[in-house]
Structure 1
Amino acid sequence: MRAPLPPSVRSDRHYKSLQSGELGIGFALTLAEHLLRSRFPDHTVTIVPADTALRAGWALTIPLACKGNHGDTATSAEQLASASAHAEAVHIGPWNETPSLLFSTQLPTDGGTMTVHALQAPGSGGRLFPAEVREPNLNDPPCQANVMPGIHPPTEGLVAPEPVRGCHVQAKDYAWFQESLAHTTAAGLMAFTGSGHATARHLTDRQGRKRFTGLEHAASMSMQDATHALSGTKYVGTDHVFRLNGPRVEAFSGVDEEVFRLLVRGDVEEYRALVHASRHVRPHLTFDKDWGGPVSVQADGSVLALRVLPGQDEAPRPVRGQSGCAG
């Protein structure tokens, strides 16, 4: 019988696993967004959580994965092979024509060079137009559909093959799925501001709408939970205070006030038009002297700003991994 690992070793391995997973997701999304924007400069690129979007139409849960590791190239190859099965579980349009990008981030333990391995599957599918039944109306409330699970291979002669397990968005569902993707994106943006009811209005029950109906964001009424003018633009959102190796740090997450007002009242069409028009001028990363820290603005109008709270010793304490909430 193998002796159990000491708690310190188990803790270290668990930490490395979390680190590789989180960094793998971050680098993969950043690289995918960069590649897509360079390939399609006339389009707006938006990252949508696939598991949430799919729950608008399917009750089953499809496993999705972003991979990272502290191993070697062989480990990344295994991760890409397993991730390909996850990608194959979602088809948009014709059979086996949905393009995909798979990433595995290799994080060295010796301080060497980080490597991101990529695997591309080209295809002519993945486009949600033209709509077969109707044109999409993004301002309609989100609709929870009950799409039959299963990916449908092409018919061979007079015999229709048995469906393969997974989610298949066919032409008849294009308009509904465009609306679901738009609402899921809007919900994620509203959750980033801390607005519960504004988030809930863009989700179906199966996507977790009821989880966001408990607390109301004051900014959607006559008051505001947190607002800041950053680099000349007013943002609505919420504040968090935490400790970073000792000093208390304030984090403000929010969205452009104009974008916020549009999504609070459910005007998804106008919100998407505004984001598309400003996609080349809005994104920036700067140090705001009035705020007192770095400010990162994304193309969708979201902002994340950090600053060390004044009136304290800003020198970090030599305590590894100390973190927590401070009221």
Structure 2
Amino acid sequence: MHTQLSTAAVHAEAVHIGTPDETPAMVFGTEIPGKDPITLHLLEAPGDGTLHLSAGVGEADLDSPPEDRAVLPGIDLAWGTGEKPRMVSGYHVRPEEYGWFRRVVAHADAAGLMAFTGGGEPTAQYLSKRQGKRHYEQYTHAGTGIVQDVAYSVHGVDFVGTDHVFRLNGTRVEAFSGIARDLFTDLAAGRVEEYRHKAHALRSDWPAGQWDAKWNGPVSLNQDGSVMAIRVLR
């Protein structure tokens, strides 16, 4: 358990946002004994898990693609103190890079959602060359070029995405992955800022039911506006 926690702590400490040693992170490890109850070990860290930024710091136009920056790795433990630099391994996101970092994270999130719907070109628009933009621009398989080819209503919400049919232990199963139509329209058009505002406003309104009678199968809705639905085909 000590090895597990220490290894996880190293990964958490490898990225610093703002002042070194002030990134809030909770590291945990799970112990599954043979007879005793499951035990969860926690390494507590200061903070409530929220990254607080001063007014005006890190503001950025999320609709603009982030440029490829060659930011040198390394964390200066003496950064901001005026002392001699003390470099250790890791990655440091400094305040002057907050805007760029916000765009990188927001666009990577948008790319993941677009890939979830089965769209290659919409995904590519949110990636840089280093992130594999070229892979989604190239024709690799008929399935990767599918964009907005299927629409379903789940719990009364219209979703747009793609579906796949496969066999599970000999049983034909259909899986649908998509995003709410309004949110998909914004992401497909490159309106990341608008998508994030809408998704944030709707995060507490998404249906919680895990079964949709009309779909006739289990469904999983996420607060980012995405859905995964599975059903058995006759």
Q: TM-score normalised by the shorter chain: which range applies?
A: 0.7 to 0.9
Distance verdict in 2 for CA 1:93–1:244, change over 3 Å: same
Within 5 A, what are the aligned runs for 1:266-277? 266-277=190-201
Q: Which residue matches 1:244? A: 168
- Count of paired positions: 229
Q: Is contact 1:91–1:168 with CA below 8 Å preserved after alignment?
A: yes
Distance verdict in 2 for CA 1:239–1:160, change over 3 Å: same
Within 5 A, what are the aligned runs for 1:97-136? 97-107=22-32, 113-123=37-47, 126-130=51-55, 135-136=59-60
For residues 155 and 248 of structure 1, the distance between their equivalents in structure 2, rounded to whole angstroms, comes to 58
Q: Is contact 1:92–1:127 with CA below 8 Å preserved after alignment?
A: no
Q: Is contact 2:17–2:92 with CA below 8 Å preserved after alignment?
A: yes
Query: What are the Cα deviations for residues 15-56 of structure 1, in whole angstroms up to 9, with x where unaligned?
Result: xxxxxxxxxxxxxxxxxxxxxxxxxxxxxxxxxxxxxxxxxx
Within 5 A, what are the aligned runs for 1:284-295? 284-295=208-219
Q: Is contact 1:294–1:307 with CA below 8 Å preserved after alignment?
A: yes
Q: Which residue matches 2:85? A: 161
Q: Is contact 1:128–1:171 with CA below 8 Å preserved after alignment?
A: no
Which amino acid is 1:91 matched to? H
Q: Is contact 2:177–2:226 with CA below 8 Å preserved after alignment?
A: yes
Which amino acid is 1:94 matched to? T
Q: Is contact 1:138–1:179 with CA below 8 Å preserved after alignment?
A: yes
Distance verdict in 2 for CA 1:294–1:129, change over 3 Å: same
* Partner SS for 1:121: coil
| 2:188 equivalent to 1:264 | yes
Is there any run of 5+ residues in structure 1 with no aligned partner, and where?
Answer: 1-75, 311-327
Shift of the alpha carbon at 1:162? 3.1
* Partner SS for 2:76: coil
For residues 108 and 308 of structure 1, the distance between their equivalents in structure 2, rounded to whole angstroms, comes to 36
Q: Which residue matches 1:93? A: 18
Structure with greater strand percent: 2
Query: What are the Cα deviations for residues 154-211 of structure 1, in whole angstroms up to 9, with x where unaligned?
Result: 2698642232111100011011111111111111111111111111111111111112
| 2:107 equivalent to 1:183 | yes
Q: Is contact 2:19–2:79 with CA below 8 Å preserved after alignment?
A: no
Shift of the alpha carbon at 1:278? 0.5
* Partner SS for 2:72: coil
For residues 80 and 202 of structure 2, the distance between their equivalents in structure 1, rounded to whole angstroms, comes to 48
Q: Which residue matches 2:125? A: 201
Distance verdict in 2 for CA 1:289–1:153, change over 3 Å: same
For residues 184 and 294 of structure 1, the distance between their equivalents in structure 2, rounded to whole angstroms, comes to 28
Q: Which residue matches 1:82? A: 7
Which amino acid is 2:222 matched to? Q
For residues 299 and 155 of structure 1, the distance between their equivalents in structure 2, rounded to whole angstroms, comes to 37
Q: Is contact 1:150–1:168 with CA below 8 Å preserved after alignment?
A: yes
For residues 252 and 174 of structure 1, the distance between their equivalents in structure 2, rounded to whole angstroms, comes to 36
Shift of the alpha carbon at 1:309? 0.8
Is there any run of 5+ residues in structure 2 with no aligned partner, and where?
Answer: none
Which amino acid is 1:230 matched to? V
Which amino acid is 2:190 matched to? G
Which amino acid is 1:81 matched to? S
* Partner SS for 1:168: strand
Q: Is contact 2:20–2:79 with CA below 8 Å preserved after alignment?
A: no
Q: Give the alignment partner of residue 174 of structure 1, picking from 98, 103, 106.
A: 98
Identity of aligned residues (%): 46
For residues 109 and 253 of structure 1, the distance between their equivalents in structure 2, rounded to whole angstroms, comes to 38
Shift of the alpha carbon at 1:236? 1.2
